[in-house]
Amino acid sequence: MAEFKTEELVLNMGPQHPSTHGVLRLEVILDGELVIDVIPHMGYLHRCFEKHCEAMQYQQIVPYTDRMDYLASMYNNFAYVETMERLLNIEVPERVKYIRIIMGELQRIASHLVALGTFGADIGAMTPFLFVFRDREMILDLFEMTCGARLLYNYMWIGGLSNDIPPNFIQRTLEFLKYFRGSIVELNNLLSFNKIFVERTANVGVLPADTAINFGATGPVLRASGVNWDLRKNQPYSVYDKMDFDVILGTGEKGTLGDCWDRYFVRVKEMEECIKIVEQAIKMLPEGDVKAGLPKRIKPPVGEIFFRVENPRGELGYYIVSDGSLTPTRVKVRAPSFINLTLLPLLCKGHLIADIIANLGSLDIVLGEIDR
């Protein structure tokens, strides 16, 4: 009997698609339902961020950094101002450091909530998505109380913050954290250990530890493969060295080490650690000023600096070259989602179409960061 002739089908999961987390075009080459190759095409959200920076003064760049990873704006600000403060060699007041950590960790919770919710929605469970967004609304209310914005904050400025936290912020945050612990339990009951969800995500997209390191993956993606690397512990910045929390690693309990379920569950557990950090920071919060008395037009010394922080998605790094004038010569951003996305073809080869969605969701990319 003659060999049945089959052809490869090129399917385009186009820039507009319900589950590509932004405008990402995936060119998928299929043999029936099996994936032979996935070629991501990005650039649909390129806004010339790095070129813009060369024409702006250092303080003016802060709102632009918000818009890169729009789901974790506080942390983008954090990374930029930490880098600039090291370039300028200044020390910010203690109160500023603690408030930055509180905001950053609350932002990490919010970002992980979106990641988990959209991941569940892609797999088909639409209800946890709404529960997760309901909890995220409370965090956004806290942020709105502080700086007036819900998504793009422009809160952390070079040398301090734009304004101090309002009087009832601490009390409302503590209330939220108490409520949120129960919310994580609800999420686990509904989604994390659901048999269908586990079957869809366990043993799918297994990422071995050495491959993850070779590709430069960072953040929960790396830690889910068992590699113990978290910049908050390994190269602490701000006052993270005074905080007591655990680094969550993947365990492979539901399947293999480094599969989609591990990447999902690492994020769930990281949220619990964030609660711990915020509570500690609130306890240790000193009084003080929130601005370091810097001039509005900053002239850093000639030189260059590269500094990285632990974004909810991985290591966010800024490389800034200064020639002593008011505007930088070059600002380069090392976006974690960009590097993590390069893993996608490797993870998807040999699996089915539905697994592309699962893998993409577990990598947790934000196109704003990838395209800048």
Partner 1 sequence: MIQFLETLLGNQILAFFVSSVLPLVFIIPFALYAIYAERKVSAFMQDRVGPNRVGPRGLFQTVADILKLMQKEDIVVAKADKPLFVIGPYLIFIGSFTAYAALPFSSQYIGSDLNLGVIFLLAISSLTVPAILMGGWAGNNKYSLYGAMRSVAQMVSYEIPALLSVIVVVMVVGTLSLNEISIKQTGYFWNWYILGGPEFGLQKFLLIPFMLLAFIIFFISSLAEVNRTPFDIPEAESELVGGFHTEYAGMKWAMYMLAEYANMFLVSGVSTALFLGGFQSPFGYLGNTIGLPSLIPFEQLFWFLLKGIILVLVQIWLRWTLPRLRVDQLMTVCWKYLIPFAFINLVIVGIITLL
Interacting residues with partner 1 (CB under 8 A): 9, 11, 17-19, 33, 120-127, 130-131, 134, 190-191, 194, 196-197, 199-200, 352-355, 357
- What does the block give as tokens for 255? 């399947």
Say which residues have a Cβ less than 8 Å from residue 185's Cβ, sequence separation at least 6.
Answer: none
Nearest approach, Cβ of residue 124 and partner 1 (Å):
3
In degrees, rounded to 5, the angle at the alpha carbon of residue 160 between the alpha carbons of residues 157 and 162 is: 55
By beta-carbon proximity to partner 1, the closer residue of 198 and 321 is 198
By beta-carbon proximity to partner 1, the closer residue of 191 and 268 is 191
By beta-carbon proximity to partner 1, the closer residue of 277 and 344 is 344
By beta-carbon proximity to partner 1, the closer residue of 16 and 214 is 16
Burial group, residue 281, by CB count within 10 angstroms (0-12, 13-18, 19+): buried
By beta-carbon proximity to partner 1, the closer residue of 162 and 194 is 194
Question: What is the distance in angstroms between the CA of the first residue and the CA of the last residue of the chain?
Answer: 54
Measured distance CA(124)–CA(215) in Å, rounded: 30
CB 118 within 8 A of CB 129: yes
Taking CB atoms within 8 Å and a gap of at least 24, the contacts of 167-175 are 169/142, 169/145, 170/282, 170/285, 172/141, 172/142, 172/145, 173/102, 173/106, 173/142, 173/278, 173/282, 174/279, 174/282
Inter-axis angle of helices 94-123 and 353-363, nearest 10? 170
- What does the block give as tokens for 165? 């936290």
3-state secondary structure of 31: strand
Nearest approach, Cβ of residue 11 and partner 1 (Å):
6
Largest CA distance in the chain: 84
Nearest approach, Cβ of residue 65 and partner 1 (Å):
31
| CB neighbourhood size of 302 (10 A) | 11
Say which residues have a Cβ less than 8 Å from residue 130's Cβ, sequence separation at least 6.
Answer: 117
Nearest approach, Cβ of residue 268 and partner 1 (Å):
16
Nearest approach, Cβ of residue 48 and partner 1 (Å):
31
By beta-carbon proximity to partner 1, the closer residue of 26 and 88 is 26
Nearest approach, Cβ of residue 191 and partner 1 (Å):
8
By beta-carbon proximity to partner 1, the closer residue of 186 and 241 is 186
Nearest approach, Cβ of residue 70 and partner 1 (Å):
21
Nearest approach, Cβ of residue 73 and partner 1 (Å):
26
Measured distance CA(122)–CA(258) in Å, rounded: 20
By beta-carbon proximity to partner 1, the closer residue of 199 and 246 is 199
